[in-house]
């Protein structure tokens, strides 16, 4: 039996599975048994470079998923066994010699001191050598157990292909099949607000969930869903006449066929066949040339570089000092291809400023991207004054409190920047009554729910100051939580 090479010709990664294409060179023959196919594959196809396939069968068994690694481990195991056998043999000879020398000491009772002096060096030498050989033997034994464990882990459930060919003159046998796999994009955005550019780097994080590893030097990643079938199915075309039956009634199928043929000729208005809708998927496809290995059962994740792009972006910064001292940046850009949802990381001046899940974008449509926090555009709130005055209305005493604040947004960049500023307006709650709220300058928009907005364009080192005055009334003695 021969084996398919571990290296695949190409692998196409769809959203939920991968289509693997392999080939193997064969001599002229009619029947071949080939191993190395995963047992959990689907949509299997086989075809030769010459002739055609008469029939094929698939049979599950246990085989090494990585034949090269399996052969390498078996070779190392044989070498370890050979070396361990030599060491154990030498250890046995030294032990025999040591026991023999010790027996001489016990037998020579007339001159034990003389015998001890003459044999002690050899006995000590044998003891040291035996200790060293025992340590090496224990180490090799542990290595042997580890090698056997690795060999067992390489063996997986696989399928043997038995194929019968007709007219095969030698060449290649091609197969394709699908295995469970997945891929998700990961984007790195580098923000350049001053230059109006947005740089994007995308990689595909791919995982293999089949029982065998995937190794290839040509990987294709696509955003399109996997097709219903890897190839159009052949439909057998048979020409025949309408059968006539005499002497006994024809079967129902023949009567229906004859009735359909007669009605089609008799009727002048032949009904049109139903309209078949053909859906065309517009997908984005990336191809990578380079060695990639994915361990089975999702034990590893590979990264395939997809593309690098530089987009022209319109940046606008949002300052919300009551939420954060630092403003955050938004970039409006138009992707030139479909972008699938994935993980995004935003870098500003070599600093990671944001990490989130990007919802993806459509080619040709403007997309607004959260581009992280801008440390050069800052906002602060300063209390200018706060006054309280007690009043009496009938038999009740109230406190009227006036609070004045200055909200400042500063552009610390060296270029002019458009900034959208948000400031809140309070609402009354409990026993508190809001008399009035004034902003200077007046907000350009009231977005509802107490959110006021200003759109400004700040020069370098320019500040934009909003004065907010709030006047409230509440029962005397109450504590107001600003």
Report the DSSP beta bridge partners of residue 56: 163
**What are the φ/ψ torsions at residue 453 (nearest 5 degrees)?**
-135, 140
Domain-located, residue 331: yes
Residue 148 Ramachandran class (φ > 0 left, ψ -120 to 50 alpha, else beta): alpha
pTM tops 0.75, yes or no: no
Domain-located, residue 413: yes
- 3-state per-residue secondary structure call for the chain: CEECCCEECEEEECCCEEEEEEEEEECCCCEEEEEEEECCCEEEEEEECCCEEEEEEEEEEEEECCHHHHHHHHHHHHHHHHHHHHHHHHHHHHHHHHHHHHHHHHHCCCCHHHHHHHHHHHHHHHHHHHHHHHHHHHHHHHHHHHHHHHHHHHEEEEEEEEEEEECCCCEEEEEEEEEEEEEEEEEEEEEECCCCEEEEEEEEEEEECCCCCEEEEEEEEECCCCCCCCCCCCCCCCCCCCCCCCCCCCCHHHHHHHHHHHHHHHCCCCCCCCCCCCCCCCCCEEEEEEEEEECHHHCCEEEEEEEEEEEECEEEEEECCCCCCEEEEEEEECCCCCECCEEEEEEECCEEEEEEEECCECCCCCEEEEEEEEEEEEEEEEEEEEEEEEEEECCEEEEEEEEEEEEEEEECCCCCEEEEEEEECCCCCCCCEEEEEEEECCCCEECCCCEEEEEEEECCCCEEEEEEEEEEEEECCCCCCC
Q: For the chain, 482 residues long, give each residue's pLDDT as a single digit of tens.
A: 898 988 999 999 988 899 999 999 999 999 999 998 999 999 999 999 999 999 999 999 888 877 778 888 889 999 999 999 999 898 888 888 888 777 766 665 555 555 555 667 777 888 888 888 889 999 999 999 998 888 887 888 889 999 999 999 999 999 999 999 999 999 999 999 888 999 999 999 999 999 889 999 999 998 777 766 444 555 667 666 655 555 555 555 555 555 655 555 454 454 545 544 444 444 578 899 999 999 988 888 999 998 899 999 998 899 999 988 989 999 999 998 888 889 999 998 888 888 999 988 888 899 999 988 888 899 999 999 999 999 888 888 999 999 999 999 999 988 888 899 999 999 888 888 999 999 999 999 999 889 999 999 999 999 999 999 999 999 988 888 77
pLDDT at 338: 83
Domain-located, residue 154: no
> Smallest Cα–Cα separation from 192: which of 55, 59, 350?
350
Domain-located, residue 381: yes
- Measure the CA–CA gap between 330 and 457, rounded to whole angstroms: 15
Domain-located, residue 422: yes
Report the length, in residues, of the chain. Answer: 482
Domain-located, residue 285: no
Domain-located, residue 104: no
pLDDT at 70: 82
Total number of domains constituting the chain: 1
Structure tokens at 276: 């078949």
Q: Domain residues for 379?
A: 313-482
Structure tokens at 8: 């695949």
Structure tokens at 438: 């004034």
Q: Do 107 and 76 contact (CB within 8 A), yes or no? A: no
Domain-located, residue 392: yes
Q: Measured at the alpha carbon of residue 74, what is the angle toward residues 73 and 75, in degrees to the nearest 5?
A: 90
User: How many CA atoms within 13 Å lie on the side-chain side of 467?
Assistant: 5
């Amino acid at each position: 039996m021969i084996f398919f090479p571990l290296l695949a010709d190409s692998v196409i990664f769809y959203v939920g599975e991968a289509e693997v294409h392999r080939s193997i060179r064969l001599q002229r023959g009619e029947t071949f048994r080939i191993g190395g196919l995963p047992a959990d594959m689907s949509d299997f196809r086989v075809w030769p470079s010459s002739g055609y396939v008469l029939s094929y069968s698939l049979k599950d068994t246990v085989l090494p998923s990585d034949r090269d690694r399996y052969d390498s481990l078996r070779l190392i195991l044989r070498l370890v066994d050979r070396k361990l056998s030599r060491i154990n043999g030498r250890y046995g000879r030294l032990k025999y010699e040591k026991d023999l020398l010790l027996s001489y000491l016990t037998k020579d009772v007339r001159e034990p001191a003389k015998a001890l002096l003459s044999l002690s060096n050899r006995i000590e030498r044998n003891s040291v050598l035996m200790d060293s050989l025992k340590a090496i033997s224990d180490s090799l034994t542990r290595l042997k157990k580890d090698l056997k464990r690795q060999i067992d882990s390489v063996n997986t459930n696989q399928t043997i292909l038995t194929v019968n060919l007709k007219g095969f003159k030698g060449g290649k046998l091609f197969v394709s099949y699908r295995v469970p796999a997945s891929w998700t994009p990961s984007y790195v955005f580098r923000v350049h607000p001053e230059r109006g550019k947005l740089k994007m780097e995308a990689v595909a994080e791919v995982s293999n969930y089949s029982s065998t590893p995937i190794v290839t030097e040509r990987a294709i990643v696509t955003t399109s869903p996997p097709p219903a079938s890897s190839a159009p199915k052949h439909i057998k075309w048979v020409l025949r006449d309408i059968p006539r039956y005499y002497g006994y009634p024809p079967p129902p199928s023949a009567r229906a066929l004859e009735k359909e043929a007669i009605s089609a000729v008799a009727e002048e208005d032949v009904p049109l066949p139903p309209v078949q809708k053909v859906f065309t998927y517009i997908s984005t496809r990336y191809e990578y040339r380079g060695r990639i290995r994915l361990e089975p059962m999702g034990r590893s994740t590979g990264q395939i570089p997809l593309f690098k792009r530089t987009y022209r972006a319109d940046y606008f910064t949002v300052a919300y000092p009551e939420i954060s001292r630092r403003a955050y940046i938004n970039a409006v850009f138009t992707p030139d291809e479909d972008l699938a949802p994935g993980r995004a990381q935003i870098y500003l001046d070599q600093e990671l400023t944001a990490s989130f899940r990007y919802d993806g974008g459509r080619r040709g449509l403007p997309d607004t991207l959260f581009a992280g926090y801008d440390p050069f555009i800052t906002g602060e709130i300063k209390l200018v004054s706060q006054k309280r005055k007690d009043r009496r209305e009938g038999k009740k005493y109230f406190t009227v409190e006036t609070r004045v604040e200055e909200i400042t947004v500063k552009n610390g960049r060296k270029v002019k920047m458009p900034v959208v500023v948000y400031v809140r307006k309070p609402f009354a709650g409990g026993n508190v009554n809001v008399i009035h709220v004034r902003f200077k300058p007046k907000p350009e928009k009231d977005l509802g729910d107490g959110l006021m907005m200003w759109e400004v364009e700040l020069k370098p080192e320019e500040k934009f100051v909003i004065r907010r005055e709030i006047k409230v009334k509440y029962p005397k003695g109450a504590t107001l939580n600003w």
